[in-house]
Amino acid sequence: MSLHRWFLLLLALALMLSASGCQQAPREYKQTLLVFGTLVTVTLRDVDEKQAQQAIEQIRQDLNFMHEVWHPWKPGPLGRTNALLATGGWFSANPSVLPLIEKGRELAERTDNLFNPAIGQLIALWGYHQDDPPKGPPPSRAAIKKLLAQHPRMTDIEFDGLRMRSRNPAVQLDFGAMAKGLAVDRVIDYLRNQQISNAIINAGGDLKVIGRHGDRPWRIGIRHPRPTPDKDENVLAALDVNDGESVFTSGDYERFYAYEGRRYHHILDPRTGYPADQTMSVTVIHPDAATADAAATALFVAGPDGWRAIARKLQLRYVMLVDKNGRIIMTPAMAQRIILMDPEDEPLIVDPAVDPR
Partner 1 sequence: MTRADISLLLITLVALPFVYLHYWQAAGVGTTVRILRGETLLRELPLNKDQEITIEGNLGLSHLQIQNGKIRFTDSPCSGKVCIHKGWLSHSGDFNACLPNRISIEILGQGKFDSMNF
> Which residues of the chain form contacts with partner 1 (CB under 8 A)?
1, 4-5, 8-9, 11-12, 15-16, 19-20, 22-23, 30, 32-34, 37-39, 41, 43, 131-135, 200, 202, 205-207, 213, 218-223, 227-229, 231-232, 234-235, 238-239, 247-249, 251, 253-257, 283
DSSP secondary structure letter of residue 2: -
Residue 301 C-alpha from the chain's centroid: 15
**Which one, 82 or 297, has the nearer CB to partner 1?**
297
Residue 355, amino acid: D
Taking a C-beta distance cutoff of 8 angstroms, is the pair 241, 339 a contact?
Answer: no
- In the complex, the smallest distance separating the C-beta of residue 311 from partner 1, rounded to whole angstroms, is 19
CA 265 – CA 257 distance, rounded (Å): 6
49: helix, strand or coil: helix
- In the complex, the smallest distance separating the C-beta of residue 284 from partner 1, rounded to whole angstroms, is 11
**Which one, 12 or 348, has the nearer CB to partner 1?**
12
The long-range contacts involving 96-102, CB below 8 angstroms and separated by at least 24 positions, are 96/69, 97/69, 97/70, 97/173, 99/182, 100/70, 100/173, 100/175, 100/178, 100/179, 100/182, 101/154, 101/157, 101/164, 101/173
- In the complex, the smallest distance separating the C-beta of residue 34 from partner 1, rounded to whole angstroms, is 5
**Which one, 193 or 228, has the nearer CB to partner 1?**
228
- In the complex, the smallest distance separating the C-beta of residue 28 from partner 1, rounded to whole angstroms, is 9
- In the complex, the smallest distance separating the C-beta of residue 249 from partner 1, rounded to whole angstroms, is 5
Residue 237, amino acid: A
- In the complex, the smallest distance separating the C-beta of residue 309 from partner 1, rounded to whole angstroms, is 25
**Which one, 166 or 281, has the nearer CB to partner 1?**
281
**Which one, 223 or 312, has the nearer CB to partner 1?**
223
**Which one, 205 or 347, has the nearer CB to partner 1?**
205
CA angle 19, 23, 27 (to 5 degrees): 150
Taking a C-beta distance cutoff of 8 angstroms, is the pair 225, 236 a contact?
Answer: yes
- In the complex, the smallest distance separating the C-beta of residue 115 from partner 1, rounded to whole angstroms, is 19
**Which one, 9 or 162, has the nearer CB to partner 1?**
9
Per DSSP bridges, beta strands 328-330 and 348-349 are parallel
Taking a C-beta distance cutoff of 8 angstroms, is the pair 331, 316 a contact?
Answer: yes
- In the complex, the smallest distance separating the C-beta of residue 229 from partner 1, rounded to whole angstroms, is 6
- In the complex, the smallest distance separating the C-beta of residue 221 from partner 1, rounded to whole angstroms, is 4
**Which one, 158 or 342, has the nearer CB to partner 1?**
342
**Which one, 120 or 134, has the nearer CB to partner 1?**
134
CA 161 – CA 177 distance, rounded (Å): 27
Taking a C-beta distance cutoff of 8 angstroms, is the pair 122, 180 a contact?
Answer: no
> What's phi and psi for 334, nearest 5 deg?
-65, -45
> What's phi and psi for 240, nearest 5 deg?
-90, 130
